[in-house]
């Protein structure tokens, strides 16, 4: 068989059913084999960057290896941003790039690029295979690395002649599975003993995605408030009486008050790397005068910026299972405190971003997952939108790639077809990766793309204005009718010009379709977004 066929047989054996990317000469052998492999569906996108965001979302919500492919040269470089994003998010993706024939390297072949060193800083492993007999074993090695320890992206460059070379029939290696990192039992026991004699908070990052039940049990055993990072918004039920809100970028006053003003003597950090946006620009009060415990699968996060008194290296889910049992053995029982009286939303009927987002939630299914792009609307989502069901927000403020929310919506829908998905994006993001609505159309994916169109780079505009007291006119542009653009592509659309335009009739005609729809919100909101201390942090430089 051809060497590339062996690779596809291996991926199929591991349950890979979807591959994201764009065909081209240096990877056409790969795509040609898919004619005869109906078990794997190629998702052909409009840009390789968007394909990488789809793969990331698919890996996250299918909880398995995703595969993404691009041609040699520009196809590969277009994937690098997605690889960096996946590395930051600990998502297992096999990035495959084509390469020029081995005997043409260095001869200025068309689209020639040594991609191996380009991908190396943003992946766990990157290699170029120059011998056909090594191709399968290298892909298997890369897959093992992607799924082991802290998951992450890997890259294999495949010269076209290597792909096409006939190889002898060889056994397909066993496909690896992620093995949980088991925490040290003595450390777990010590942690339980420390927790029962202290009073503190539970600080939750997106690493608890598969451990929410254990987090809630822990909180109820300890009767400690839960504070989440922006990326963990939506993981903890909004109606849980111990939830104090979001800390960090666009966070809540209650959470900030607990961190900055409380006399609690302990902090338990779960699945957060304690980055800039999660900690409100590395606020020193987070751990000040607090005995600090951190549980994470990635041991490089310990003592990176904050001193950690008791680090626990292990899968969050497994660590909490053991920890909860230890706490119960020490006599703690699970109690659910009464829910504090909620503060009523004092929003007006002003046509602004906050009211638009809350109004949309009235008419979309409560189980809708919102993939949030990068823009001023993101801060409103974090601060104001309601958590009505489990795991309902995909917020990627870490790497912050504009347009990533559009690809994330497609990846999420493919991973969980029965879950309603809506993407909240902006005109700036849409002009980067908005043509992926055609990808959604071609694969009949019923996704609602909500485009906040303010005819400017809103986050840049507000941030620059607050920091420098002025804004360059080039941050704004003439408004484009995006609903009309979608309509020209045969995609149902509706343009909102006032708050009352968002109603049951207008929304119902855009959901439950056999493909995507676009809801354009034509709105210039000059209110200052709830960005927390972000502007103060940026303004501190040079002073």
The pLDDT score that the predictor gives to residue 461 is: 55
Indicate if 359 and 312 belong to the same structural domain. no
**Whole-angstrom Cα Rg for the chain:** 24
Is 70 exceeded by the pLDDT of residue 535?
A: no
Q: How confident is the model at residue 469 (pLDDT cuts 50, 70, 90)?
A: low
Query: Locate tokens 């779960």: which residue?
Result: 270
User: From residue 292, how far is each of 138, 244, 381 by CA, in Å?
Assistant: 41, 19, 30
109 and 238 assigned to the same domain:
no
Mean pLDDT of 536-541: 48
Asked whether residue 8 falls in the same domain as residue 106, the answer is yes
Calculate the average pLDDT of the chain.
92
Q: Does residue 368 sit within a domain?
A: yes
Q: Does one domain contain both 425 and 456?
A: yes
Domain shared by 475 and 425, yes or no: yes
Whose tokens are 């501190």? That residue is 540
Q: Does the structure show a pLDDT above 90 at 459? A: no
3-class secondary structure for 159-178? EHHHHHCECCCCCCCCCCCC
For the segment 364-389, the average pLDDT, to the nearest whole number, is 95
- Based on the fold, state whether residues 401 and 290 are members of the same structural domain: no
Q: What is the pLDDT of residue 106?
A: 80
The residue ranking higher by pLDDT, 184 or 470, is 184
Flag whether pLDDT at 370 surpasses 80.
Answer: yes
If asked whether residues 300 and 412 sit together in one domain, one would say no
Q: Is residue 343 part of a domain?
A: no
Is the domain of 531 the same as that of 479? yes
Q: For residue 41, is it within any domain? A: yes
**Strand 310-313 relative to strand 369-372, pairing:** unpaired
pLDDT in the model for residue 537? 47
CATH of residue 154's domain is 3.40.50.970
- Any idea of the CA torsion for 149, 152, 153, 155, to the nearest 10 degrees? -20
Split into its structural domains, the chain has a count of 3
362 and 320 share one domain: no
Q: Is residue 279 pLDDT above 70, yes or no?
A: yes
**Is there a contact between 115 and 99 (Cβ–Cβ < 8 Å)?**
yes
Express each pLDDT in 120-179 by its tens digit.
Answer: 999 999 999 999 999 999 999 999 999 999 999 999 999 999 999 999 988 999 999 999
Buried b (16+ CB within 10 A) or exposed e, 98-128: bbbeeeeeeeebebbbebbebbeebbbbbbb
Are residues 214 and 358 both part of a single domain?
Answer: no
**What domain range is 488 assigned to?**
353-535
497 Cβ contact list (under 8 Å, min separation 6)? 522
Q: Which residue has the tokens 């898919």?
A: 34
Mean pLDDT calculated for residue range 442-454: 96
At residue 372, the pLDDT reads 97
Q: What is the 3-state secondary structure (H, E, C) of 442-478?
A: HCCCCEEEEEEECCECHHHHHHHHHHHCCCCHHHECC
Mean pLDDT on 50-66? 97
Q: Crossing angle for the helix pair 74-89 and 48-62, nearest 10 degrees?
A: 30
Residue 105 CB contacts under 8 Å (≥ 6 apart), including other chains: 112, 114
CATH code of the domain covering residue 283: 3.40.50.1220
> Residue 435 domain-assigned?
yes
Least confident of 176-190, 193-207, 311-325, 468-482: 468-482
Over residues 68-96, the mean pLDDT reads 97
pLDDT at 200: 96
Say if CB 493 and CB 518 are below 8 A apart.
Answer: yes
Fill in the DSSP letter of residue 27.
G
- The token pair at 397 is 């403020």
Least confident window among 222-231, 241-250, 349-358, 465-474 = 465-474
Determine, yes or no, domain membership for 142: yes
Confidence of residue 335 (pLDDT cuts 50, 70, 90): confident
Pick 226 or 478 by higher pLDDT.
226
pLDDT at 466: 65
Q: Which range (331-345, 411-425, 461-475) has the least confidence?
A: 461-475
What is the SS3 string spanning 416-437?
CCCCCEEEEEEHHHHHHHCCHH
Range 61-73 average pLDDT? 97
- Is 540 within the bounds of a domain? no
Q: Does residue 159 share a domain with residue 283?
A: no
- Report pLDDT digits (tens) over 286-316: 999 999 999 999 999 999 999 999 999 999 9
- According to the model, what pLDDT value does residue 460 have? 60
What was the pLDDT predicted at 345? 56
> 197 with 91, same domain?
no
Residue with tokens 């496909």: 175
Distance between CA atoms of residues 519 and 526, nearest Å: 21
Phi, psi (degrees; rounded to nearest 5) at 233: -60, 130
Residues 6+ apart with CB under 8 A from 309: 291, 292, 293
411: in domain: yes
Give the separation between CA 240 and CA 225, rounded to whole angstroms: 10
Last residue of a domain, one of 294, 329, 364: 329
Whether 384 contacts 36, CB under 8 Å: no
Q: pLDDT tens digit string along 224-273?
A: 999 999 999 999 999 999 999 999 999 999 999 999 987 899 999 999 99
Does the residue 85 lie in any domain?
yes
Give me the DSSP letters along 36-80: G-TTSEEEE-S-HHHHHHHHHHHHHHHTS-EEEEE-TTHHHHHHH
| pLDDT, position 400 | 80
pLDDT for position 508: 96
| Per-residue confidence band for 398, with pLDDT thresholds at 50, 70 and 90 | confident
Domain boundary among 164, 196, 220: 164
CA–CA dist 125, 490 (Å, integer):
42
Would you state the structure tokens that stand for residue 379, as one six-digit string?
């801060």
């Amino acid at each position: 068989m051809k060497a590339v066929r062996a690779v596809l047989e291996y991926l199929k054996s591991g349950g890979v059913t979807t591959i994201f990317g764009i065909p081209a000469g240096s990877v056409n052998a790969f795509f040609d084999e898919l004619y005869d492999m109906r078990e794997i569906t190629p998702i052909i996108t409009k840009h390789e960057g968007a394909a990488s965001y789809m793969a990331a979302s698919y890996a996250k919500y299918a909880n398995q290896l995703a595969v993404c492919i691009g041609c040699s040269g520009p196809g590969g470089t277009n994937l690098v941003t997605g690889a960096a994003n996946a590395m930051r998010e600990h998502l297992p993706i096999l990035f495959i790039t084509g390469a020029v024939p081995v005997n043409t390297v260095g001869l200025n072949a068309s689209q020639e690029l040594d991609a191996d060193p380009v991908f190396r800083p943003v992946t766990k492993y990157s290699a170029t295979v120059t011998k056909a007999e090594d191709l399968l074993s290298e892909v298997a090695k890369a897959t093992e690395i992607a799924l082991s320890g802290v998951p992450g992206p890997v890259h294999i460059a495949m010269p076209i002649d290597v792909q096409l070379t006939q190889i002898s029939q060889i056994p397909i290696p066993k496909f690896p599975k992620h093995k949980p990192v088991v925490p040290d039992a003595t450390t777990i026991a010590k942690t339980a003993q420390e927790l029962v004699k202290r009073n503190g908070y539970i600080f939750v990052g997106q690493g608890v995605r598969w451990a929410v039940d254990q987090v809630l049990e822990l909180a109820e055993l300890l009767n400690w408030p839960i504070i989440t990072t922006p990326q963990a918004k939506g993981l903890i039920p909004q109606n849980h009486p111990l939830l104090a809100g979001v800390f960090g970028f666009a966070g809540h006053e209650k959470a900030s008050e607990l961190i900055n003003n409380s006399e609690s003597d302990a902090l338990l950090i779960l699945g957060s790397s304690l980055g800039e946006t999660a900690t409100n620009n590395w606020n020193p009060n987070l751990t000040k005068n607090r005995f600090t415990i951190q549980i994470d699968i990635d041991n490089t996060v310990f003592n990176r910026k904050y001193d950690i008194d008791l680090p626990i290296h292990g899968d969050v889910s497994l660590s909490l299972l053991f920890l909860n049992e230890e706490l119960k053995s020490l006599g703690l029982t699970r109690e659910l405190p009464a829910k504090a009286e909620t503060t009523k939303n004092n929003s007006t009927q002003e046509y602004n971003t906050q009211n638009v987002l809350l109004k949309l939630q009235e008419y979309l299914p409560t189980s809708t997952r919102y993939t949030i792009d990068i823009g001023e609307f993101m801060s409103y989502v974090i601060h104001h939108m309601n958590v009505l069901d489990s795991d309902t927000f995909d917020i990627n403020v870490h790497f912050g790639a504009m347009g990533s929310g559009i690809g994330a919506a497609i990846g999420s829908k493919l991973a969980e077809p029965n879950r309603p998905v809506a993407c909240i994006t902006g005109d700036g993001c849409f002009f980067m990766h908005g043509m992926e609505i055609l990808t959604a159309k071609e694969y009949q994916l019923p996704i609602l793309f909500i485009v906040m169109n303010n005819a400017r780079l809103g986050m840049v505009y507000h941030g620059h204005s607050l920091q420098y007291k002025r804004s360059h006119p080039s941050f704004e542009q003439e408004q484009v009718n995006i609903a009309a653009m979608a309509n020209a592509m045969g995609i149902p659309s509706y343009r909102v010009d006032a708050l009352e335009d968002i109603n049951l009739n207008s929304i119902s005609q855009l959901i439950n379709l056999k493909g995507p729809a676009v809801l354009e919100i034509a709105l210039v909101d000059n209110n200052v977004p709830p960005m927390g201390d972000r502007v103060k942090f940026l303004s501190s430089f040079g002073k």
